[in-house]
A and B are shown apart, each in its own frame.
Chain A
Amino acid sequence: MDQGEHTDGDLIRGSIDDPQMFEGIFERHYDRVFRYMVRRVGRTEGADLTVEVFVAAFEQRGRFWIERESALPWLFGIASNLAKRYTRSLDRRRRAFLRAAGVSSDLGDEGAVAERVDAASLVAQLNTALGRLRSQDREVVLLIVLGDLTYQETAAALGLPIGTVRSTFSRAKARLRSDLGDVGWNPNDDFGQGVVR
């Protein structure tokens, strides 16, 4: 079967009986999920977690509604959950380490996030600002900006109403603009005007 002619739904449906067809999903979406994961948790961990996304998707493929054309929102939903789980677990380990070392661990999530990113100051500040957002707000921003998902795809990935995604992104954008406006990155008015497909 020429996989190029088939939707993601076709490939997943076919993979129920012929597992090898699932590789088509990997070939189509691996790079994008990789980029998103590495941006969230770093290179080594990001590469590992990206594979886990596809393995989890393969194991759950019976629950994918094959009438959908694109598996991307579904994959990003899995990726978002794995990334959250990883950063929470990392933060717990970091707090335990700090407690053992007699250091105050009262840094909150933003401290853990900032520790994991590139040493560049702007990146650290960006991630600190992201870390100050509420968890759901952060997930919405990261999927749209890092994953380049539309509002519709983000809504599908997170299981949220599309109106909630739009208003959440708008609010988060305003917050980031306020936090980062003086560090050389100023989200302009076009930021986040993703038109729903």
Chain B
Amino acid sequence: MNNRGDFEEFSRITGFPTPTAEERELARERLRMAMADPRSNTVRRQRRLVPVAAAISAVAVVVALSMFGNRSDVNASLLRLVDAAERVEQVTLAPGQATHVIESTTYLMVIAGDELGIKTEVIAYLLPATRELWILPDRTVILHTTVGRPLFFDELVEDAYYEAEYDAVDKVGTTIEDAYTGVADIVREHDWPTNPGELKADILDQVRQGGSALPEEALIFQRVARIYRTHETTPQLRGALLEVLASLDVTVLNDPDSGTVSASISYPDMGGTLSDLLTFDTDGLLIAEQTTADTGIPGLGIPPGTVIASATYTVPETVDWSPGG
């Protein structure tokens, strides 16, 4: 809603122009003429290259796709990874061992303005965190999360955040220790096929049931990411996931120095365009991902090009683990 006082005050001074019936009809006719003009009816949809994320390794070569472009370049980059991924040795944990991963994440937090005592309906800020995981042979997950200092888009919101002592709510600067046993996750709860065609069909089945309004290819892309980031995929499953990615309308970026390959997809969401990016190392392991608000999110005061979610992952390693150590 708006406070109409200003508008009415201004109107009192300068009048309140309204169109006459003739003006409106003339305008309608002119618009109809434009609508009937074939030149006005050519709807051009531009396809944009996804910008390289600053948070990931520098990229020297961009393999860009047009709507009718050549997929063989994309295929070549991702399919090289498939071979590498499938050759990685599958690790079997022995008692007293754990799979260890460190994640550095930043996520967009959206809360009601009321929570900070300000009039804005919703506000947003970025909250970084570092997560250290140990995954034990019995599938227990030990998690240590250290929350970092938030990043704000608006100084007024930042002031209100600390005045409301919301940093205590977010546990900024503290390390939270959790342990989960018997946790079901997306890898364990479903028997994902390692045949790429069957895997894609399976994923498509699931995303269609979800009822999301996002484009199907974006949903498939996101499901691939979700499976990958459990850190519990087999080499064969990773190979199949990479082949699924290669079958989508993605933009691929290669870094010849590090050998990393990134795949990205853009889609409409949150009132603008978002882009998701996944980065894989030379063994086809996921080492980074991020979501960028390409056109910004004006309703949340987020400028174009802002990274609203990001994560980097160390390569999972096998470590000795014992309770309390």
Contact = CB atoms under 8 A, between A and B. Distances in A.
Q: Do A and B come from one complex?
A: yes
B27 A149 contact: no
Nearest to B12: A185
Interface residues of A, number: 62
Contacts of B304: 159
Contact of A146 (B10, B296, B299, B301): B10
Contact of B10 (A34, A145, A195, A197): A145
Contacts of A164: 301
A51 B31 contact: yes
Contacts of A166: 156
A192 interface: yes
Contacts of B302: 161
A120 to B, nearest CB: 8
Contact of B13 (A30, A47, A123, A163): A123
Given A150-B1, A195-B2, A19 B298 contact: no
Contact of B30 (A55, A63, A66, A190): A55
A23 B31 contact: yes
Contact of B298 (A20, A23, A117, A162): A162
B166 interface: no
Given A16-B43, A159-B304, A47 B19 contact: yes
Contact of A58 (B35, B156, B271): B35
Contacts of A187: 6, 9
B190 interface: no
B236 interface: no
Contacts of B10: 145-146
Interface string A159-181: 11111101100000000000000
Interface string A180-197: 000001011011111111
Please indicate which of the listed interface residues A46, A62, A118, A152 has the most CB atoms of chain B within 10 Å of its own CB: A152
B165 interface: no
B14 interface: yes
B26 to A, nearest CB: 8
Interface stretch (A35-43, A78-86, A87-95): A35-43
A112 interface: no
Interface string B21-65: 001101110111011100011011110000000000000000000
A133 interface: no
B27 A54 contact: yes
A197 B298 contact: no
Interface in A5-50: 16, 19-20, 22-23, 26, 30-31, 34-35, 38-39, 43, 46-47, 50
A35 B40 contact: no
Given A149-B2, A159-B298, A118 B14 contact: yes
Contacts of B121: 195-197
A191 B46 contact: no
Question: Which secondary structure characterizes the binding site on chain A?
Answer: helix
A194 B43 contact: no
Interface string A131-151: 000000000000011101110
A116 interface: no
Which of B1, B32, B120 has the most chain A CB atoms closer than 10 A to its own CB? B120
B79 to A, nearest CB: 34
B154 A39 contact: no
A190 B3 contact: yes
B179 to A, nearest CB: 40
Contact of A62 (B2, B45, B119, B295): B45
Interface in B116-167: 119-121, 153-157
Contacts of A191: 3, 5-6, 9
Contacts of B300: 162
Interface string A90-123: 0000000000000000000000000001100011
A195 B213 contact: no
B17 interface: yes
Most chain A beta carbons < 10 A, residue from B153, B269, B296, B301: B301
B115 to A, nearest CB: 15
B92 interface: no
15 contacts: A16-B43, A23-B35, A35-B17, A50-B27, A58-B40, A63-B45, A65-B268, A66-B268, A159-B304, A160-B298, A161-B153, A161-B302, A163-B155, A167-B156, A190-B5
Given A35-B17, A149-B2, 17 more contacts: A30-B24, A39-B14, A43-B17, A50-B19, A62-B44, A63-B44, A146-B7, A155-B299, A156-B299, A161-B298, A162-B299, A163-B156, A187-B6, A193-B3, A195-B2, A196-B120, A197-B1
Counting from the closest, the 7 A-B pairs by CB-CB distance are A163-B154, A62-B43, A162-B301, A161-B301, A38-B17, A156-B298, A55-B34
